[in-house]
Amino acid sequence: MKIAFLGTGLMGAPMALNLIKAGFSLTVWNRSPGKTAALEKAGASVAETPAAAVIGADVVITMISDGPAVADLLFTQGVAEKIPAGAIVIDMSSIKPGEARDHAGRLAEIGVSHIDAPVSGGTRGAEAGRLAIMAGGDEAAFARVATVFEPMGNAILLGPSGSGQLAKLANQAIVAITIGAVAEATLLVREGGVDPARFRAVLQGGFADSVILQQHGARMQSGDFTPGGRSAFQLKDLENVLAECRVMGLSLPLTMLQRDRFADLVIRLEGGDLDHSALFLELLDCNNLS
């Protein structure tokens, strides 16, 4: 099975590497060519353009920043017209459910299947091959690419096109709200004289424990906000959650609050390129602390 992997940034690169290790034949492309060097060394072919990458591919995986970027890649840069009929596009980017459904419909017109399959787990999950993969699309198409998902993580088909993206939005709401709670708890114990590391240790196995508490709580304590998941992307996802809520006639107060806080971090504090655990910096700023 020949795979074209488009977008080998922070998340895409380790995902592509795991596919190479699993024995798949990969052709990769990235907007910044330097980010494909390690994959080429591992055995991937590197294409100069995304359209060239997909020629002869059985599966095309996209891992791009947002919906408009995915649409531009597929339908403006000439990628879709170069994908062979019968191939499957797996979009692992985080985009709006409506955008995923639109892409699926446009690809179906040229005989190409589409699965929206956004992920959760950050760079650590990508490197370990333990991503949560939320899929939407046709059941038969999903079954055909089950072995493609396996080296990257655990994939579950949730329903028709757009279902994976809806689940990812719900996931991002949980992530954002939990980061906010961990930030407040970390600040509370720190200012009260309790070592945040011991605080995290004592909560292990309890109801308040989580991956976010252990990983991002440690980031907050050390001040290391090297991006695993960028704050700008977290803000984009929260905007997409609220856009979907407007269509559905729903109000999610905690998500709205976290959207405003991430907007403050990204725009006013210019923290868009920091890890989303850097919301702790926004909390410190609110309290006039360093």
Q: Is 45 exposed, middle or buried (0-12, 13-18, 19+ CB in 10 A)?
A: middle
Tell me the CA end-to-end span of the chain in Å, nearest whole number. Answer: 52
2 carries an active-site annotation: no
CA distance 202 to 32: 44
Give the bridge partners for 136, in sequence order: 116, 159
CA distance 124 to 54: 28
Q: What is the DSSP string of 221-260?
A: HHT----SSBHHHHHHHHHHHHHHHHHHT---HHHHHHHH
List all residues 6 or more positions away from 182 whose beta carbon is below 8 Å from its beta carbon.
Answer: 210, 212, 213, 216, 217, 220, 277
In SS3 terms, 47-105 reads as CCCHHHHCCCCCEEEECCCCHHHHHHHHHHCCCHHHCCCCCEEEECCCCCHHHHHHHHH
Set 82, 96, 168, 236: catalytic member: 168
CA distance 100 to 137: 10
Catalytic residues: 168
